[in-house]
Structure 1
Amino acid sequence: MMRVLIEKMRSRHERLHTWMRHNRNRETAALFAVAVLFLISLTYSTLIAPPHTFPTQHVITVKSGGTIGSTASLLKENGIIQSATVFKAAALLFGGKVIAGDYYLDTRENVLALAWRMNRGEYGLDTITVRIEEGSTVAEMAQQLQSVLPRFDAERFTQIATQFEGYLYPDTYHFLPSTTADEVVSVLRGTFFARIEDIALRLGASGRSVEDIVIMASILEREAHDFEVKRRIASVLWNRLDIDMALQVDATFRYINGKGTYDITKAELADASSPYNTYQHKGLPPTPIGSPSIESIIAAAEPIESNYLYYLADRNGVTYFSRTFEEHKRKKALYVN
Structure 2
Amino acid sequence: MAFIKKLLVTGVVVSVAAVAGFSWWAKTPLDTGAGTEPAIEFTINPGSGVGAAAQQMVAAGVPVNPQLFNLLARVTGKAGRIKAGSYELKPGTSPRRLLTQIVRGEFAQEAVTIIEGWTFRQMRATLAAHARLKHDTVKLSDQELMAKISKEYTSPEGLFFPDTYLFAKGSSELDIYKQAHAAMLKHLHAAWESRDSSLPYKTPYEALIMASIVEKETGQKSERTMIAGVFVNRLRTGMLLQTDPTVVYGMGERFAGDIRKKDLETDTPYNTYTRSGLPPTPISLPGVESLAAALAPAKTEALYFVSRGDGTSQFSTNLPDHNRAVNQYQRRIKQ
Partner of residue 263 from structure 1, selected from 250, 258, 261: 258
Q: Distance in 2 between matches of 1:310 and 1:262?
A: 24
Q: Cα–Cα, structure 1 residues 259 and 299, in superposed 2: closer, same or farther, change >3 Å?
A: farther
SS at match of 1:283: coil
Partner of residue 166 from structure 1, selected from 127, 145, 158: 158
Q: How does 1:237-256 map to 2 (within 5 A)?
A: 237-256=231-250
Q: 2:315 is matched with which residue?
A: 321
Q: Cα–Cα, structure 1 residues 204 and 213, in superposed 2: closer, same or farther, change >3 Å?
A: same
Task: After TM superposition, give the deviation of residue 177 of structure 1 in Å.
Answer: 2.4
Partners of 2:165 and 2:176 within 8 A in 1: no
Q: Distance in 2 between matches of 1:281 and 1:336?
A: 25
Per-residue CA deviation, residues 181-234 of structure 1 (Å, 9 max, x unaligned), is: 321221111212232344343126454331221110100001112334111111
SS at match of 2:194: helix
Per-residue CA deviation, residues 244-286 of structure 1 (Å, 9 max, x unaligned), is: 22111011234233688971111211111x2011111111010
Partner of residue 137 from structure 1, selected from 119, 122, 125: 119
Partners of 1:145 and 1:154 within 8 A in 2: no
Task: After TM superposition, give the deviation of residue 295 of structure 1 in Å.
Answer: 1.1
Partner of residue 299 from structure 1, selected from 283, 293, 307: 293
- Which deviates more from structure 2 when the two are superposed, residues 249-258 or residues 122-131? 122-131
What residue identity is the alignment partner of 1:138? F
Given the two structures, how large is their TM-score scaled by the length of structure 1?
0.61
Partners of 1:250 and 1:261 within 8 A in 2: no
Task: After TM superposition, give the deviation of residue 124 of structure 1 in Å.
Answer: 10
Q: Distance in 2 between matches of 1:61 and 1:255?
A: 45
Q: Cα–Cα, structure 1 residues 244 and 280, in superposed 2: closer, same or farther, change >3 Å?
A: same
Q: Distance in 2 between matches of 1:258 and 1:324?
A: 35
Q: Distance in 2 between matches of 1:309 and 1:262?
A: 26
* Structure 2: gaps (5+ residues): 1-41, 52-58, 60-65, 71-81, 89-100, 147-153
SS at match of 1:255: helix
Q: Distance in 2 between matches of 1:167 and 1:133?
A: 13
The Cα RMSD (Å) is 3.9
Q: Cα–Cα, structure 1 residues 171 and 197, in superposed 2: closer, same or farther, change >3 Å?
A: same
Q: Distance in 1 between matches of 2:102 and 2:205?
A: 46
Q: 1:188 is matched with which residue?
A: 180
SS at match of 1:304: coil
Per-residue CA deviation, residues 29-58 of structure 1 (Å, 9 max, x unaligned), is: xxxxxxxxxxxxxxxxxxxxxxxxxxxxxx
Q: 1:150 is matched with which residue?
A: 133
SS at match of 1:129: strand
Q: Distance in 2 between matches of 1:146 and 1:104?
A: 22
SS at match of 1:203: coil
Q: Cα–Cα, structure 1 residues 321 and 270, in superposed 2: closer, same or farther, change >3 Å?
A: same
Q: Distance in 2 between matches of 1:234 and 1:100?
A: 49
Partners of 2:213 and 2:282 within 8 A in 1: yes
Q: Percent identity?
A: 30
Q: 2:170 is matched with which residue?
A: 178
What residue identity is the alignment partner of 1:263? D
SS at match of 1:320: strand
Q: Distance in 1 between matches of 2:168 and 2:248?
A: 31
What residue identity is the alignment partner of 2:175? E
SS at match of 1:175: strand
Equivalent pairs, count: 251
Q: Distance in 1 between matches of 2:210 and 2:106?
A: 43
SS at match of 1:164: coil
SS at match of 1:199: helix
SS at match of 2:327: helix
Q: 2:277 is matched with which residue?
A: 283
Q: Distance in 2 between matches of 1:291 and 1:282?
A: 22
Partners of 2:188 and 2:208 within 8 A in 1: no
Per-residue CA deviation, residues 119-178 of structure 1 (Å, 9 max, x unaligned), is: x97999512112211122211111111122431245337342462321211111102222
- Which deviates more from structure 2 when the two are superposed, residues 242-251 or residues 258-267? 258-267
SS at match of 2:112: strand
Q: Cα–Cα, structure 1 residues 124 and 229, in superposed 2: closer, same or farther, change >3 Å?
A: closer
Q: Distance in 2 between matches of 1:249 and 1:186?
A: 31
* Structure 1: gaps (5+ residues): 1-58, 69-80, 82-90, 106-119
Q: 2:228 is matched with which residue?
A: 234
